């Protein structure tokens, strides 16, 4: 994993655990095993703001404000700009569900190509079929990328091979990436899951929603638990932004790729949609 991100992750874990005490720069730097000066530099390069400013976006008050935004997911699309940090994922990302015969061992088997890259949130595997990106997963521990794909596509032919679509998709990690072409996702999921994932695309950067909010958006308000299950099975990290789903109390909740990474994403996006970041204040 990118060593700088590992240090950032350790620092974010410390910030979350000690936010109520407003830890000093020296204390946070020590948690990342860095000098205050070195830590301030790499954190600011990563986040675009100082650790102290970033901490403001991790408070419960800030989370509740993002969660209780009265605009609906769909209203937000009318207000957002297509450039810079105002973009919505659904301007760039479209979802197509796989047909069952595409991933069963019948006829010609599905071929999946994957490659591993660095991202602002650690090493990430990107995998695709001939019709689009089928999986994006952050890599932690000793599990090999092939194993992650075999779990989901046991009958597929899997090859390590970078294709241009992988690099193009990863441009969405870049701040203000305005030249990204539409990214097509070719995912394995039930119709209900795909409906939920498509709805997640409509949550603007910097905003948060609960499973209850999503259930209401898909006109199935009683399906809160089923929505939560679909969120947890999201196969495409970050691009289908399940990290923007939090409990109704405004706390950060769980995340299949690690709570520290989820908090990093929420804070990173909140900073980039803030006035002070856009204006350089």
Checking DSSP bridges between strand 132-138 and strand 122-129, what pairing results, if any?
Answer: antiparallel
What is the rounded CA–CA span in Å between residue 98 and residue 210? 27
Angle (nearest 5°) at CA 219 between 215 and 223: 40
Query: Which of the residues 12, 158, 223, 242 is marked catalytic?
Result: 242
- Crossing angle (nearest 10°) for helices 36-47 and 259-272: 70
CB distance 212 to 248 below 8 Å: yes
Place of tokens 């650690």: 122
Assign 69 to helix, strand or coil.
Answer: coil
**Residue 242 bears catalytic tag:** yes
Return the structure tokens found at 34.
């860095």
Place of tokens 């990690």: 173
Instruction: Kindly list the catalytic residues.
Output: 242
């Amino acid at each position: 994993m990118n060593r700088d991100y590992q240090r950032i992750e350790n620092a974010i874990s410390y910030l979350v655990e000690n936010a109520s005490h407003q830890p000093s720069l020296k204390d946070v730097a020590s948690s990342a095993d860095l000098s205050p000066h070195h830590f301030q530099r790499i954190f600011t390069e990563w986040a675009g703001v100082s650790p102290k400013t970033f901490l403001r976006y991790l408070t419960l008050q800030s989370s509740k404000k993002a969660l209780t935004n009265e605009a609906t997911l769909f209203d937000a699309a009318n207000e957002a700009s297509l450039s810079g940090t105002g973009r919505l994922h659904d301007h760039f990302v479209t979802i197509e569900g796989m047909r069952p015969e595409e991933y069963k061992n019948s006829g010609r088997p599905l071929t999946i190509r994957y490659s591993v890259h660095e991202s602002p949130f650690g090493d990430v595997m990107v995998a695709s079929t001939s019709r689009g990106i089928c999986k994006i997963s952050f890599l932690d521990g000793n599990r090999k990328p092939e194993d992650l794909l075999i779990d989901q596509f046991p009958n597929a032919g899997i090859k390590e091979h970078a294709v241009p679509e992988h690099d193009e998709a990863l441009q969405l990690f870049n701040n203000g990436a305005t030249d990204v072409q539409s990214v097509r996702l070719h995912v394995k999921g039930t119709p209900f899951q795909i409906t939920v994932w498509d709805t997640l695309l409509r949550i603007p950067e910097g905003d948060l929603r609960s499973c209850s909010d999503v259930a209401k958006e898909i006109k199935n308000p009683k399906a809160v638990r089923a929505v939560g299950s679909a969120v947890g099975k999201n196969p495409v990290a970050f691009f289908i932004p399940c990290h923007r789903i939090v409990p109704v109390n405004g706390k950060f909740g769980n995340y299949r790729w690690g709570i520290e990474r989820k908090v990093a994403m929420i804070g990173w996006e909140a900073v980039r949609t803030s006035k002070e970041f856009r204006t350089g204040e």
